[in-house]
Amino acid sequence: MLDITNLRKVFPKEAGEMVAIDDFSLAVQNGEFVCLLGPSGCGKTTVLRIIAGLETLTSGTIQLDGRDVVNSGPDRGMVFQEFALFPWRTVRKNVEFGLEIKGVSAAERKTIGQKYIDLVGLNGFEEYLPKKLSGGMKQRVGIARALANNPEILLMDEPFGALDAQTRNQMQKELLRIWSETKKTVVFVTHSVDEAVYLADRVVVLTARPSRIKEIFKIEQPRPRDRANPEFIALRKQILAELEEESAQAPKLV
């Protein structure tokens, strides 16, 4: 479904250039849940933003269902770490925003919006403003807003990174429930090995910058996964070792 071939991204600098991503190739199947994991600053978010059409690539190709990805479009939904909600719009109006931009009628917007508000468990909070919501509830709104446009693929950039541990674990469970109901393809960026092993069909470990694929782990364990299971712990330890090896080689920030 999603086919990334020889992706390369170069950022200009005052003296020369910085290669952020190099020779990055990955195929993601329809309905698959893939997590991208790598050292801080390795380019995970840049990969996601290029898929979303929010960042241009330097070379290579990205195709979604055989179509070249050039700009942003409704076939890709993005969920950000910073909740990115409009503070003056209610839950309902935030969820309906993309539909409004597309010119969908008010009645149809309300029907579609309510479907996804119900799906993420925010029934009864439709008229609340974001300032009245907890962090987990705000991210539910972001997920509902992305899904309301019925994208082919859901792109998630550390969506639970700002949440406390208990809320984060609960939102992981909720995301898997939503994913199982919608059958969406998900590409999910995270810093957490535990989160990646808990959520993903495959965990893609990236190298230090310039970002390449170091290793791909296929998670065979059935869901729901038990974090205390010896197999879960062993896999987490193996992936963590790969990640720590790359983190040690990551360029130091000055």
Residue 254: predicted pLDDT: 43
CB atoms within 10 A of CB 35: 27
The sign of the torsion formed by the CA atoms of 60, 65, 68, 69 equals negative
Per-residue pLDDT of the chain (254 residues; tens, 9 = 90+): 899 999 999 998 877 788 999 999 999 999 999 999 998 888 899 999 999 999 999 999 999 999 998 888 889 999 988 778 999 999 999 999 999 999 999 999 999 999 999 999 999 999 999 999 998 999 999 999 999 999 999 999 999 988 888 999 999 999 999 999 999 999 999 999 999 999 999 999 999 988 999 999 999 999 999 999 999 999 999 999 999 888 877 665 54
Instruction: Assign domain 28-56+65-75+154-254 to its CATH architecture.
Output: 3-Layer(aba) Sandwich (3.40)
The one-character DSSP state at 209 is: S
Q: How far apart are CA 199 and CA 112, in angstroms?
A: 27
Q: How far apart are CA 130 and CA 140, in angstroms?
A: 11
Q: How far apart are CA 189 and CA 48, in angstroms?
A: 8
Beta bridge partners of 175: none
Residue 251: predicted pLDDT: 62
Structure tokens at 118: 């119900």
How far from 168 is each of 99, 192, 195, CA to CA, in Å?
28, 11, 9
6, 252, 80, 52 alpha-carbon torsion, rounded to 10°: -20
Residue 80: predicted pLDDT: 86
Q: How far apart are CA 254 and CA 27, in angstroms?
A: 35
Listed in sequence order, the residues at least 6 apart from 244 whose beta carbon sits closer than 8 Å to its beta carbon are none
User: Tokens 């970002």 belong to which residue?
Assistant: 211
The angle at the Cα of 94, spanning 141 to 160, to the nearest 5 degrees, equals 25
Q: Could you state, in order of their start, the residue ranges of all structural domains in the chain?
A: 28-56+65-75+154-254, 82-150
